[in-house]
A and B are shown apart, each in its own frame.
Chain A
Amino acid sequence: MKKRIVALLMCTAMVTSMVVGCGSGNSDSSSDASSSDDSAATTEDSGEAKDIADCTFAIVPKSAGNPFNEAEAKGFQEAIEAAGAECIVSYPEQATADAQITVLQSLISQGVDSISVAANDENALQATLQQAMDAGIKVSCFDSKTNADSRQVFVNQADTELIGQTLMDAVYDITGGEGQWAILSATSQAANQNAWIEAMQNVMEGDEKYANLELVDIVYGDDEPQPSTEQTQALLQNYPDLKLICAPTTVGINAAAKVLQDQKSDVKITGLGMPSEMEAYVGEDNVCPYFYLWNPIDLGELAAYTAMALVSGDITGAAGDTFDAGDMENSPYTVVDASDGGTEIILGEPFEFNPDNIAEWADVF
């Protein structure tokens, strides 16, 4: 009986401590929160520009421990800090939407002015990001988009159709226009990769030119070296006449190139990869004649300028808005309609890395 009472007491103690512990902080910071709400409201009401230097910009990449994401974050951070504003780089614990929500919630609590996120899942962030927008935070996506309802604008690395077309042209060129080829992708739910693969398939079906090319298989290496290696080996074994593997993912292309080089195979590889990772495999006689990517540092930088333009009120995310992006190549950029009903800003065209320029770029990212 005594035990029960003590246990009860402790439960009460716990609840009170929680209410009191948090409540004490509540009084002063709730006024804090409301004041920031007020300021957000006034900005919207008057439509006046906020001083960028007083604002906090947050970036949430796809995952930690990945140099591509790191390069994006680096570009973002440099641009923000050059403008004199505060930048928060918040990597999620894992490459999942779930982990990103934890991070996003924390940023909402901190009352940041803008969040740029590379979504791990198109739909899963919707509720959280809408909460952020309701709190007056400007929400933009880069690298990998969320659905149209949960963003103000998407900073797209390159037009999806263009990527599909570019990769198909590479496939056509390397195979000589005929023969078997296969795709090694990331995970089966990777939104970017799925969109690019679909674009490639559309290009292939839409033109007689590609009639002699046979896409024999699409396999998924889960963006990890071991499964990517295994899937590549299985491809080689299942299709002895295979001429080319196209891997639109940085981990996959790297792992597949390693397999091909080890096996001294005649099969070629192309796709999307990081120059620093691929340097050892690119060459006229090597497994990879050339491959594509965009500059992740530039992508981060553009995401930063977009976020700043949103916060300063230069753009609202509607199609037709234009804004200056510092000394970036294609500046000024224009917001255009995206195929999913939202809007997007396109960085540029995919960049070709070949034996001539690989050494130079390998030092950059």
Chain B
Amino acid sequence: MKQKSVLKQITKSREFSLVIVLIVLCIVATILNPSFISPTNIAQIFRNNALTMVMSVGMLCVLLTGGIDISVASILAFSGMIVGMLLKYKVLENTFLLFVLGCVIGIVCGLLNGLIISKGNVAPIISTMGFMYIWRGLAYVISNNQWASGADVVGYSDFGADGAAGPYIIIAVVFIAGFIVLKWTKAGRKIYAVGSNAEAARVSGINVDAVLIYTYVIMGFLSGLCGALSVSIYASAQPNMQYGLEMDIIASCVIGGVSMSGGRGSVVGTFLGALILALITRALPLVGIDAIAQNMVKGILILAVVVLNVVTQRMMDRANLERREM
């Protein structure tokens, strides 16, 4: 009896349908190109999508509060560009310190977002849109039309080099920490509470403003971290780097079943969502889709996955309802 209920719980959960999608994708891709399932390929999938994955945990928190942050790619570029320029002009070359610096820059950016959204009572999409322009513009200004790459970042790029453990460790730590914080800590549960019903949360004594602020600080922190990480992985810092990444991040979250109106979503779902998006991006060139058509196919697949999500959800709801009626 108990076994059955556990099984039912698994099949009933939203994540289950994602796992199925993931498996189907893997099987199709492997049939079309057997090297898809190879360990190197899988390792590269994680490394190439480390930024999307890490930042999707932050975006999950933001979406849980019912907000959104579209400034993340710009924060990433701003922090990454500062790190890159420090390396280029040999001001600071300690990998650890540079990562810390990237994180601090991200935290400051996130704090500004959080303050304006909570204290200024501004819609998150607008505040972050303003900062999207601001940080990206400043990244260009700092760069002064230069890139940091190649010889400039030798040594620093070892941390994120192909085969180095750095990116994988960061992904693992962020997801595990995110899982623990959102599931078992007060701070994490408060994020859910604010997102489900801000008014109720306020009445029950939660400082909503504080929750919003630390949510955006977490997002900023992860964006700043990814700025430093991006320079390390791609051994290059350019002011236009990761342009448009915010949309990929939001898409991973939504594919992972996170509600954009707040209160619903999980770290596991987000992880699966990010992985599905990563697999799609990776599989397209491998299965022989024409380079020019890759974008279009990617869009169709994203749409298909989110629609599929809704359809299965509806079917499950209906099935539950019928069972109750009987």
Interfacial residues of chain B within 285-310, with CB under 8 A of chain A in the complex: 285-286, 291-292
Interface 1/0s, chain B 150-172, versus A by CB < 8 A? 11001001000111000000000
Of A70, A91, A276, A280, the residue contacting B154 (CB under 8 A) is A280
A313, CB-defined interface residue at 8 Å: no
CB-CB < 8 A to A67: which residues of B?
145-147
B259, CB-defined interface residue at 8 Å: no
CB-CB < 8 A to A220: which residues of B?
291-292
Which stretch of B110-118, B235-243, B315-323 is in the interface?
Answer: B235-243
In the complex, what residue of chain A is closest to B161 when comparing beta carbons? A262
CB-CB < 8 A to A277: which residues of B?
147, 149-150, 236
Of A69, A234, A263, A362, the residue contacting B162 (CB under 8 A) is A263
In the complex, what residue of chain A is closest to B33 when comparing beta carbons? A238
Of B44, B157, B241, B242, the residue contacting A233 (CB under 8 A) is B44
B48, CB-defined interface residue at 8 Å: yes
CB-CB < 8 A to A258: which residues of B?
157, 234-236
Interfacial residues of chain B within 115-154, with CB under 8 A of chain A in the complex: 139-140, 143, 145-147, 149-151, 154
In the complex, what residue of chain A is closest to B245 when comparing beta carbons? A226
Assess the B163–A224 pair: CB atoms within 8 A. no
Assess the A224–B243 pair: CB atoms within 8 A. yes
Assess the A188–B291 pair: CB atoms within 8 A. yes
What's the minimum C-beta distance from B321 to chain A, rounded to whole angstroms?
A: 44
Assess the A254–B285 pair: CB atoms within 8 A. no
Assess the A224–B241 pair: CB atoms within 8 A. yes
Assess the B241–A218 pair: CB atoms within 8 A. no
Assess the B163–A262 pair: CB atoms within 8 A. yes
Assess the A64–B140 pair: CB atoms within 8 A. yes
Q: Dominant SS at the A interface?
A: helix
Complex Cα gap A362–B149 (Å): 12
CB-CB < 8 A to A66: which residues of B?
145, 147, 238
CB-CB < 8 A to B239: which residues of A?
64-65
B264, CB-defined interface residue at 8 Å: no
A278, CB-defined interface residue at 8 Å: yes
A321, CB-defined interface residue at 8 Å: no
Assess the B151–A362 pair: CB atoms within 8 A. yes
Assess the A65–B238 pair: CB atoms within 8 A. yes
Complex Cα gap A95–B240 (Å): 10
A57, CB-defined interface residue at 8 Å: no
A193, CB-defined interface residue at 8 Å: no
A229, CB-defined interface residue at 8 Å: yes
In the complex, what residue of chain B is closest to A91 when comparing beta carbons? B145
CB-CB < 8 A to B241: which residues of A?
224-225
Of B151, B235, B292, the residue contacting A188 (CB under 8 A) is B292
Of B143, B151, B236, B281, the residue contacting A230 (CB under 8 A) is B281
CB-CB < 8 A to B291: which residues of A?
188, 218-220, 231
Assess the A255–B236 pair: CB atoms within 8 A. yes
In the complex, what residue of chain A is closest to B288 when comparing beta carbons? A238
CB-CB < 8 A to A231: which residues of B?
285, 291
B207, CB-defined interface residue at 8 Å: no
CB-CB < 8 A to A233: which residues of B?
44, 48
What's the minimum C-beta distance from A67 to chain B, rounded to whole angstroms?
A: 5
* Category for how many chain A residues contact B: 35 or more
Of B41, B145, B151, the residue contacting A70 (CB under 8 A) is B145
CB-CB < 8 A to A238: which residues of B?
33, 35, 285-286
A110, CB-defined interface residue at 8 Å: no
Take A64-B239, A65-B239, A224-B243 as given contacts and tell me if A280 and B140 are in contact as well, using a CB distance cutoff of 8 Å.
Answer: no
Of A69, A218, A254, A262, the residue contacting B236 (CB under 8 A) is A254
A133, CB-defined interface residue at 8 Å: no
Complex Cα gap A188–B35 (Å): 26
Of A188, A224, A254, the residue contacting B240 (CB under 8 A) is A224
B282, CB-defined interface residue at 8 Å: yes
A158, CB-defined interface residue at 8 Å: no
In the complex, what residue of chain B is closest to A277 when comparing beta carbons? B150
Assess the B48–A226 pair: CB atoms within 8 A. yes
Assess the A225–B162 pair: CB atoms within 8 A. no
CB-CB < 8 A to A218: which residues of B?
291
A281, CB-defined interface residue at 8 Å: yes
What's the minimum C-beta distance from A219 to chain B, rounded to whole angstroms?
A: 5
Q: What are 19 contact pairs spanning A and B, CB under 8 A? A: A66-B145, A67-B145, A67-B147, A91-B145, A220-B291, A226-B242, A230-B285, A231-B285, A234-B285, A237-B38, A237-B286, A238-B33, A254-B149, A255-B234, A258-B157, A258-B235, A263-B163, A276-B150, A277-B149
15 new A-B pairs (CB below 8 Å) besides A65-B240, A229-B48, A277-B150? A64-B239, A67-B147, A69-B145, A219-B285, A224-B238, A224-B240, A224-B243, A230-B48, A238-B33, A238-B286, A251-B238, A262-B161, A277-B147, A280-B150, A362-B151
10 smallest beta-carbon distances between A and B, as pairs: A262-B162, A70-B145, A65-B239, A234-B285, A225-B234, A280-B150, A277-B150, A279-B151, A280-B151, A258-B235
Residue ranges of B at the interface with A (Cβ–Cβ < 8 Å): 33, 35, 38, 40-41, 44, 48, 139-140, 143, 145-147, 149-151, 154, 157, 161-163, 234-236, 238-243, 281-282, 285-286, 291-292
